[in-house]
Amino acid sequence: MNDLKENNIGTEDTKITRLPLTSDYVFKRIFAREENNSMLKDFLEAILNIHINKVEVKNPELTPNMADEKLGILDLKLDIDNEKVVDVEMQVSNEHNIKERSSTYLSKLAAEQLKAKQNYKELKKIITINILKYNYLERNAYHSIARMKYEDTKPIEFVDMGYNEEEEEATNTFEMHFIELPKFKQKNPECNTKLEQWLWLIDGSKEEKVEMSAKENEEINKTVKELNKLSKDPEEVAKYEEREWSIMRYNVEMKTNRELGEKEGEKRGLKIGEKRGRKNEKKAVIKKLHELNISIEQIAKVVELKEEDVKVDKIYGHGGLFKTKGVGQQILADAVNAPVSVM
């Protein structure tokens, strides 16, 4: 909830604390409303760099047990022009799984379509948009787009089919977008493009950039007004705080569980190590006593084990006594009552 400190904005008679769009609750509360559809359309056009005629929110509801849900549950599932299925998710906590999570969503959205249509050719394009409040990808870009592409042809597998340019895209059905806000903030761009304008509003850390973006883009200006209105509503502020406390509690629980798991693992490792150490120590003692030709019965008493546990299974010998084939082997075998091999 530290975001609130960064978003203090003045009005004519009082100051309000603007709720942050990086909150999944606030993000969905603003963009899932039917009356705010033009804002959502403009925001999606900025990210996808396409023209959109119509966008429909498929999951506008906020679940009753919202505060107890896991992180990321408050996503937006959208249909664009009846051609594309889009999932938008706001991520504030790095769970180190966003690539796997996003690809799993792609598969899930594809499966949902196939259940309804049972025809691969009718599959709509599926897009996931992940807005991250942390850096994750080892890439020099704040907006990274991933698609399925072919690897370069290996020389050993080359066949001259006469193609001057090879196909690069394996399929255009799947697409993933990753927007890393810290990288955007580090670049510190102006408000020249629609994407820059929207990201300054979502980041919310520089009010002068937000004001500039609102002047340049009417949809952003409308969004700012909606945010200010939401931020003045005590009930909405309470819901936002409830959600943030839930996320904080979840993160603490996850961290505590990881730490407990690590400590338990360390304890088990120490116990196993100590047990193996004692076992190896006893083996060394048993070996030494055998070398001194101590009887099995006496060795068992010394190391506090059963006689069958201290018997020698096999002995290896080389050089000296064992140069004469068979003689040394037999003498030692009779002495220790165990088979002897010559190396």
**Residue 5: per-residue pLDDT:** 45
pLDDT at 103: 82
CB-count burial class (<10 Å; 0-12, 13-18, 19+) for 205: middle
SS3 of residue 119 by DSSP: coil
Comparing CA positions, the residue from 28, 47, 36 lying closest to residue 221 is: 36
In angstroms and rounded to an integer, the radius of gyration of the C-alpha atoms of the chain is 34
Q: What percent of the chain has pLDDT over 70?
A: 66
Sign (positive or negative) of CA dihedral 118, 121, 123, 127: positive
Joined together, the tokens standing for residue 136 give: 């994750």
| pLDDT above 90: percentage of residues in the chain | 45
- Read off the pLDDT of residues 175-233 as tens digits, 9 standing for 90 and up: 999 999 999 999 999 999 999 999 999 999 999 999 999 999 999 999 999 999 999 99
List pLDDT tens digits, range 319-339: 555 555 655 555 555 555 555
Give SS3 for 20.
Answer: coil
What is the three-state SS of 177-226? EEEEHHHHHHHCCCCCCHHHHHHHHHHCCCHHHHHHHHHHCHHHHHHHHH
Cβ contacts of 85 within 8 Å, gap of 6 or more? 77, 78, 79, 109, 113, 124, 125, 126, 127
* Number of CB atoms found within 10 A of residue 8's CB: 11
DSSP H or E segment with residue 170? strand 169-180
Number of H helices, E strands in the chain: 12, 10
Any residues with CB less than 8 A from the CB of 232 and at least 6 apart, and which? 16
Residue 100's pLDDT band (cuts 50, 70, 90)? confident
pTM of the model: 0.69
Give the angle subtended at the CA of 93 by the CAs of 90 and 95, to the nearest 5°: 110
| Distance of alpha carbon 86 from alpha carbon 58, whole angstroms | 10
